[in-house]
Every structure is written in C-alpha cells, then in structure tokens.
Amino acid sequence: MPTPLLSRRARPLTGTLRIPGDKSISHRSLIFGGLSVGETTIEGLLEGEDILATAGAMRAFGCEVERGKDGRWHVHGRGVSGLDEPADVIDCGNAGTGARLLMGVAAQQPITTIFTGDGSLRRRPMGRVMTPLSQMGVRFATRQGGRLPGAVIGPETLIPIEYTLPMASAQVKSAILLAGLGAAGHTTVIEPKPTRDHTETMLRHFGADVRVEDMPGGGRRITLVGQPELTGRKVVVPADPSSAAFPAVAALLVEGSEITLPGVGTNPLRFGLFETLIEMGADITLTNRRTEAGEPVADLIIRHGPLRGIEVPPERAPTMIDEYPILAVAASVAEGTTVMRGLEELRVKESDRLGAMAQGLTACGVRVDVDGDDLTVRGASNGVAGRTTIPVDLDHRIAMSFLVLGMVSEEFVAIDDAAAIATSFPGFADLMNGAGAAIAPATDVAA
Ligand code: S3P
C-alpha cells in the first residue's frame, strides 16, 4: 500500500537536527568490514533500507554483522576473497550503490552470486560495471541491457586491469577496486573527473596500499596493490551531506528559519551543493570543523535569506550529483534563472531525475526547460502554486525535494508514495515536523 504524504506551508524551521549517517560511507564500512580480518566497529551507521540490504548481503557472504544495544554495529569479516557463496539471491532493494559495489565483492572469488532489487534498481544499467569486470575475467548472466536480476560468476584467477572511466561514477570506480582486491598485481582506475573518494580513503584505513596521483587536466589515477590483508577498524560515519541538503534548503527557503546540523561531512567531493548555495547568496556557516576517521566534518548553521539564480558549471556535477533535485527546488524560488549543465548521469539514478524534476516543477507552476542534459529553472518571484501530487517512482530524493517545495508553496505539494524515503532518511517527516514543517498523510487531498 503506498503512503501518500503532503507538505504545506511551514512555520519557521528552528532547532538542532540530527541527520542520519552518510549512505556512501555506511555501505563501504559494512563491505570493508566484511573483507577484513577481525572486528570492525561502526558508529553512526545509517540504518536506512539501502544499508540494511547491504548488511544482509554481507551476512549472506558469511560475515557476522550485528547491531549492538548501544547503536554501534559490529562486523566480523572473512578477509579478502574469504567469502562464502551466498545460498540465495541477494536483494539489494533500491540501492544502486549496494548492488554495484557488491558486484565487485562477488567478483573476487570463484563463486556465483545472483543479485536483484526493487523495480527501480531492476531498470538501472549494470553494464557500466560489467564491462570492466569482464575484462578482469568475470562472467555475467543478466536480463537484456545488463539489467538485474543477474548472476556474477567470479573467475578462478582475476586479471588486474587499467581502466579509464567513461562516465563520472564512484560506484564503477569502487566496483573495480573491490574486485581488484582479489587480483594479484596492480589494478588502476583513471577518472577524468574526480568522484567521491570514500573507497580510496577507507581502503587505506583498513590497511590496503592505494596510491592516488593527480593528472594534468584535473583527473586522477588510482592504483591498488591487490591481495592485501585488510584488518578490522573503527569507523565513525559522518552525517550525510546529501541528506542534510533537504533540511538545509528548507531552512534557506522558509522565512524566519535558523537551524543547526551537527557533524555533517564536508568532503569537497561531496560538498558541491553547499558551495553552489553559498554562491547563490545563502547564509550558511561552517563551525567546529574537524576530521573524524579520515573524513572532514563540520556543524552547519543555516539561516533563511534570499537566493539568486546562477549558472552551475558541469565540472561540479560529480560533487553534487545527488543534490540537483533539491537545488532545482531552491532555484524555483530564487530570484532570476538557474542553469544546471551536464546532468546526463541524472537520467540513470533511482529514477530519471532530470525528467522527474522538469515534470514535477512544471506541475507545481514553475517555469522549467530541459535542453539536452541541461536544466534551466526560472525562479518564481510571485511564489510557487503547488496543489498537485507528484509521482515519486521509487525515488527518495524526488520525494523529499517536493515535500520541501510544499513548505513554501501557496498550496500543498503531495507525493504519491513516501515509502522510498526510508532508503536513505528514515524519520525524515518527523524530524522536519519537529522543526516546524507541516508534512501529513495525504488521505484528505483529492489529487
Ligand atoms: C555513490 C555514487 C554516486 C551517487 C550515489 C552514491 C557512491 O553514484 O549518486 O548515491 O556511494 O559511490 P554514481 O557512481 O552512479 O555517480
């Protein structure tokens, strides 16, 4: 049964909001813990459905993964290439990151692992991971177009490769490096545009030899020495900047708001949205900057204020790829026009986010143009109308973006199903309502 929700004009948003743990780092902490010898302890793990699916997968590979009473998670790993063949199909739910990283894990050994997922994941392309892993000797059997369900058949001996990423994707980079853990020799990934570097940072933290060279033109060359012994470690997961983005934009838009978001990850390869919002004139202060378990974090203080439209350069896309939907919401009520360029990767996320934002914003009364892979949003100086229900299509970030837009629309904005929000931000509506939002079940609205 779908759970429709609607969002109405919010009171000023105030208070300190605890944002759940980073999704990317949470997946990786369970996976690297499982590939290590000894115990890994994880503090601040995101307990969203995507991550619980990865915890289930690591158990299926023979690792012990448990939540302690104090909320810390404990993983007892099997070591690199020490996994069992899963006895059943691994269901990654909605998680593209989980699926693609785990395909790299499954490739490390001569075992067969079958992956599936929900309706969204089953339509996402896996060919981007299959192409490099095939060069390493891995075989696959999937539905047409490299769609799940599909089987990953690990070879007796993995071949280390050098691979240049054809698209900016941390998931593809990570899948290759994870498979490379099982290969004798050096596995190299060249990324023409740098993407989030949690895999490299965390692999080092767990004891692998990973070298990163900056290349002329801004790219990076990442080399992993295969067959390391990884050792269980302590991981502290920062609050997810991609989740913090929703309350942050809400506070910028709702008059009179001032909120604090403690301990948010500020890794520059994840922080493009905040950089962009500051360029748009946002009042955002970073305090208490520190490094926790290798990742930079800060407390963010966000105050309402006017925003002006800007042009967001395509080079910035990898540092804010998950944040374009909520940026488009901010742009809807900014003064002037915002142009976002180079968004081709948005089409293959949990949904086609370029199409979803263009259609949803238009339905809310915002003027939007899509030209190839560029999105232009004209700020509505006289306010956004709302009074519509947005189809979410199993996409958590589309769902949260439109609930934020409802907070500053003349009339409600509803979403047809809130279930997907629990993949990355369990408790989103309650947290926002506690701060001043008015998100409620949509049963009383004739859509
Ligand atoms: C992620 C990489 C990005 C991002 C996703 C998380 C990761 O995907 O959209 O939410 O943790 O590696 P792509 O690699 O497809 O860009």
Residue 174 beta carbon below 6 angstroms from any ligand 1 atom: yes
Region 7-28 average pLDDT: 98
Token pair belonging to 385: 């109308």
With bands split at pLDDT 50, 70 and 90, how would you rate the model's confidence at 237?
Answer: very high
Instruction: Please name the fold of domain 23-236.
Output: UDP-n-acetylglucosamine1-carboxyvinyl-transferase; Chain (3.65.10)
Report the range of poorest mean pLDDT among 105-109, 262-266, 439-443: 439-443
User: Which residue is catalytic, options 118, 197, 240, 322?
Assistant: 322
Residue 197 beta carbon below 6 angstroms from any ligand 1 atom: no
5-21+238-441 and 23-236 in the same fold = yes
Instruction: Please name the fold of domain 5-21+238-441.
Output: UDP-n-acetylglucosamine1-carboxyvinyl-transferase; Chain (3.65.10)
pLDDT, residue 405, reads 98
pLDDT, residue 372, reads 96
What are residue 116's DSSP bridge partners? 91
Q: How far is the CA of 171 from the centre of ligand 1 (A)?
A: 5
Between CA 100 and CA 406 the distance in angstroms is: 34
With bands split at pLDDT 50, 70 and 90, how would you rate the model's confidence at 443?
Answer: confident
285-317 pLDDT, tens per residue?
Answer: 999 999 988 899 999 999 999 999 999 999 999
134-151 pLDDT, tens per residue?
Answer: 999 999 999 999 999 999
The DSSP bridge pattern shows strands 220-225 and 438-441 to be: unpaired
The ranges assigned to domains in the chain are 5-21+238-441, 23-236
Atom of ligand 1 nearest to the CA of 28: 11
With bands split at pLDDT 50, 70 and 90, how would you rate the model's confidence at 182?
Answer: very high
Q: How far is the CA of 174 from the centre of ligand 1 (A)?
A: 10
pLDDT, residue 444, reads 57
Q: How far is the CA of 436 from the centre of ligand 1 (A)?
A: 31
Q: How far is the CA of 118 from the centre of ligand 1 (A)?
A: 17
pLDDT, residue 446, reads 47
Q: Phi and psi (nearest 5°) for 138?
A: -80, 145
Active site residue 322: yes
With bands split at pLDDT 50, 70 and 90, how would you rate the model's confidence at 447?
Answer: very low
66-111 pLDDT, tens per residue?
Answer: 999 999 999 999 999 999 999 999 999 999 999 999 999 999 999 9
Edge-to-edge, what's the strand order for the sheet holding 258-265? 14-16, 258-265, 295-303, 283-292
0.75 surpassed by pTM = yes
Among 28, 97, 295, the mutation site with the greatest number of ligand 1 atoms within 8 A of its Cβ is 97
pLDDT, residue 445, reads 57
Give the helix/strand (H/E) hosting 301. strand 295-303
The DSSP bridge pattern shows strands 39-43 and 311-312 to be: unpaired
Region 407-427 average pLDDT: 98
